[in-house]
Homo-oligomer: A and B are copies of this chain.
Amino acid sequence: MIENDIFKALADPTRRAIFEKLAGGGMNASALREGMEISQPAMSQHLQVLRSANLVREERQGRFVHYEVNPDGLALIAQWLAKYRAYWPQRIEALKVLLRDMDQ
């Protein structure tokens, strides 16, 4: 189940940090490591998990591999969230902000 891959991928704080960093702009794996105190294999493994969850996509560029956010994964979370829209009216004010942001 793809939904499972996504939530499992995001359950790790290091992976969320990596994802967040990539959301600020795509870069290669070495650049991602800067200031993150994480070994090269660990980074590679995390990126693999994020990739198979469709949260990140890669593109070979010579001997570098460029990574960037894959919106597909985010869209699936949004879909999951939408299933529970019945519970939103109670917090409609907080949500209005989200809606405006998204609808820009």
**1/0 per position for A4-28, CB-CB distance to B under 8 A?**
1001101101001000100100000
Helix, strand, loop or mixed for chain A's interface?
A: helix
Partner of A16, one of B7, B75, B99: B7
The answer on a CB contact under 8 Å between B98 and A79 is yes
Number of interface residues of A (CB under 8 A): 38
List CB contacts (< 8 Å) of A26-77 with chain B: 69, 71, 74-75, 77
**1/0 per position for A75-94, CB-CB distance to B under 8 A?**
10111011111111111001
The answer on a CB contact under 8 Å between B102 and A88 is yes
A102 to B90: give the CA distance in the assembly, Å.
Answer: 11
